[in-house]
């Protein structure tokens, strides 16, 4: 069976930053899970708005404003089509996935949950899908439970019978772990949650940029992700929500554009999704996100996923060859996203990342905004290499070579 492929050499020509040098060496950027690089198509789309037709949206009847408004609205429609939303009205623009998840905690959680209600999350979660729920627990007296992990880092769904109850109101989880790369199958969680009348929230920050996602087919209630991880700019994120739920929720913030009428004794909210978009929106960033969606759509998300599966498989094999390396998470690339998280014996991850940078190799080191997961693994920090559409095998080779050099440097220093 043939698989779709990417022309990585052609793709790399679209990214000006990849021709830069670091410490006199070609840059090897392996931190796309934190934030991806941007192609010319996105940079040009935003530059065109700023240079030729910048004006606030939804406020003017002159040419610049109408043109910007049309592009902004089309960006929302592009995002809706990209994730299989039934309508653009289901798409709320936020600053990022973190704001989208906080919106749900503040607007849905504070309005619909009461003391004793339960929220089920997982031990894999990024802080963005962890802290808002614990904040809500402190404030409202709700109970937060966590699905534990199997030894290889997947969700232990055998525990669902004891964790779910008639008091479960929200089930919220990451589609793909930003640390272990675990790809969670949402179907059984959604089915079990809905059977209890609970809503399902999915953090898709590491999924939407890397694989086909269709929210209508998933039948999730809410789905959040960030633009900056999928070739788009910072400052723009997305919250998909079922319209009936969005309409039932109170606004997150108040001000311009989220109202339809303000009087001295009466205020009426705007229609969904504008009800959740107070103030001047990040419309240039939204247009940039629309251009990123166009770029990924042209590549084809099946091809994106296959490319990352192949390069992740290669990276798992090559990094494991290095003596003293421990890799975390499942070893099967079919159930793993494009991240390889690891440690090297007797080298702190921050020291390792610094030494790799001297070789022009950029990786992330730390707890990756997932401290509870690291506590569960018994680790203070890890190093993480992550891949995207512009990643290529020779960059994995450069990573491995740089790890060997780091080990040699530290061994020499210790002898002294």
- With tokens 């910007």, the residue in question is 68
Q: Alpha-carbon distance 86 to 83, whole Å?
A: 9
Instruction: Give the Cα-Cα-Cα angle 332, 337, 338 (nearest 5 degrees).
Output: 105
Cα–Cα distances (Å) from 5 to 8, 304, 391, in that order, read 9, 8, 13
Beta carbons of 234 and 205 less than 8 angstroms apart: no
Catalytic residues, by residue number, are 369
Cα–Cα distances (Å) from 178 to 2, 144, 329, in that order, read 29, 21, 11
Q: Alpha-carbon distance 16 to 29, whole Å?
A: 12
Tell which residue, 233, 202, 20, has the closest CA to residue 125.
Answer: 202
Q: Alpha-carbon distance 146 to 372, whole Å?
A: 10
Cα–Cα distances (Å) from 257 to 84, 100, 262, 412, in that order, read 26, 18, 11, 62
The per-residue DSSP string of 259-306 comes to EEEE-SS-EEEPPTTGGG--SS--HHHHHHHHHHHHHHHHH-HHHHHH
Q: Which helix (H) or strand (E) holds 92?
A: strand 91-94
DSSP category for residue 59: S
Q: Which helix (H) or strand (E) holds 343?
A: strand 339-344
Beta carbons of 378 and 153 less than 8 angstroms apart: no
Beta carbons of 248 and 224 less than 8 angstroms apart: no
Q: Alpha-carbon distance 325 to 304, whole Å?
A: 28
Longest pairwise C-alpha distance within the chain: 78
Buried b (16+ CB within 10 A) or exposed e, 203-242: bbbbbbbbbebebeebebbbbbbbbbbbbbbbbbbbbbbb
Q: Alpha-carbon distance 66 to 56, whole Å?
A: 9
């Amino acid at each position: 069976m043939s698989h779709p492929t990417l022309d990585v050499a052609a793709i790399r020509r679209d990214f000006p930053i990849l021709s830069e040098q670091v410490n006199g060496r070609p840059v090897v950027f392996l931190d796309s899970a934190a934030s991806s690089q941007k192609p010319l198509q996105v940079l040009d789309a935003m530059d065109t708005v700023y240079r030729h037709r910048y004006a606030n949206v939804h406020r003017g009847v002159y040419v610049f404003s109408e043109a910007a408004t049309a592009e902004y609205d089309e960006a929302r429609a592009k995002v809706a089509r990209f994730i299989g939303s039934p309508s653009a009205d289901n798409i709320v623009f936020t600053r990022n996935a973190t704001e989208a998840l906080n919106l749900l905690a503040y607007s849905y959680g504070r309005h619909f949950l009461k003391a004793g209600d339960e929220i089920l999350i997982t031990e894999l979660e990024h802080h963005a899908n962890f802290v808002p729920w614990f904040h809500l627990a402190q404030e409202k007296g709700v109970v937060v439970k966590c699905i534990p992990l199997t030894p290889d880092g997947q969700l232990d769904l055998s525990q669902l019978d004891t964790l779910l109850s008639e008091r479960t109101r929200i089930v919220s989880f990451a589609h793909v772990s930003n640390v272990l790369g675990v790809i969670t199958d949402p179907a059984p969680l959604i089915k079990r949650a809905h059977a209890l009348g609970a809503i399902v929230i999915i953090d898709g920050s590491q999924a939407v940029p890397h694989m086909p996602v269709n929210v209508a087919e998933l039948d999730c209630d809410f789905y959040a992700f960030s633009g900056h991880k999928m070739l788009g700019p910072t400052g723009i994120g997305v919250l998909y929500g079922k319209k009936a739920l969005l309409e039932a929720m109170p606004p997150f913030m108040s001000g311009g554009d989220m109202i339809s009428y303000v009087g001295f004794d009466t205020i009426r909210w705007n229609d969904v999704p504008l009800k959740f978009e107070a103030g001047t929106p990040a419309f240039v960033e939204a247009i940039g996100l629309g251009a990123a969606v166009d770029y990924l759509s042209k590549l084809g998300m099946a091809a994106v996923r296959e490319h990352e599966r192949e390069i992740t498989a290669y990276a798992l094999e090559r990094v494991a060859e290095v003596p003293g390396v421990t890799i975390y998470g499942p070893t099967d690339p079919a159930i793993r996203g494009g991240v390889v998280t690891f440690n090297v014996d007797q080298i702190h991850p921050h020291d390792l990342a610094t030494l790799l940078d001297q070789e022009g190799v950029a990786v992330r080191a730390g707890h990756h905004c997932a401290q509870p997961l690291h506590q569960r693994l018994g680790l203070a920090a890890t190093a993480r290499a992550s891949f995207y559409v512009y990643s290529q095998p020779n960059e994995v080779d450069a990573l491995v070579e740089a790890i060997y050099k780091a080990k040699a440097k530290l061994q020499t220093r210790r002898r002294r």
